[in-house]
Structures are given as structure tokens and as C-alpha cells.
Amino acid sequence: PKRHKVLQEWMEAKEKTRISRGQRRRGKPAALTEDSCFWAYVEEAWKDLENLKQGQHQSLQRLEEFERYVTTMNDALKISADVSLEGSRFMKWSAEWEKYKREHSS
């Protein structure tokens, strides 16, 4: 939805302002995940994983991109703690993704 994109643009502008002022990098995780579309991306990753399991290999690239995105967000402390709670939709996806990679590694 457009409102999520507007919020995301606002957060990115805020981050650029913070950096231009010479403020330090975040020292602790965000109280809220900074990307307002994060949970929508998780749902897309679920769909891509299901498609990949059904042989639609074009989904693999999107899943790898999502994995890199999550790593970048996590390293920058822009993901809130609720994302990694046991039983969260993201943690369930992550477990399924890791299982798929183990089962299909060369």
C-alpha cells in the first residue's frame, strides 16, 4: 500500500539526516522494524519458497535476495526483536528456508 511506501521514504530520509549530522550508527535494535513493508516481504518469501518447492526455480533468486536483505537489516539493527521470537512467521519461514537449502545443497 502507498502508506507503507510513504512511511518507508520518511524513515530513509530520517536515516540520511542522522548520518549527515554525523550521528553514530544505531547501538541497539530498533523498537519497531524500520521497513514498514517487512512483514509483506516475509509473506512474499513464503510464496516464493512454496513455488520453489514446486519446481519454479526463478523463485530462488528472490529468496536469496530476501535473505541478503534480512542480513543487512539485522546487521544495521533495523529489525525489532519481535521478528525473531519463536513461532513468528519470519522464524518459521527461516527454518523452512534453511531446511530447503540443506536438502538441496550440492
pLDDT, position 31: 53
Angle (nearest 5°) at CA 39 between 38 and 41: 65
- Residue 102: its pLDDT value, please? 94
Domain extents in the chain = 2-103
- Neighbour tally for 33: CB within 10 Å: 18
Q: Say what the pLDDT of residue 46 is.
A: 97
Q: Running along the chain, 106 residues long, what does each successive block of 10 average in pLDDT?
A: 66 72 60 77 96 94 94 86 89 96 87
H/E element holding 10?
helix 2-20
Q: How far is CA 8 from the centre of its chain?
A: 13
State whether residue 56 is helix, strand or coil.
coil
CA angle, 28 then 92 then 65, to 5°: 70
- What pLDDT was estimated at residue 3? 61
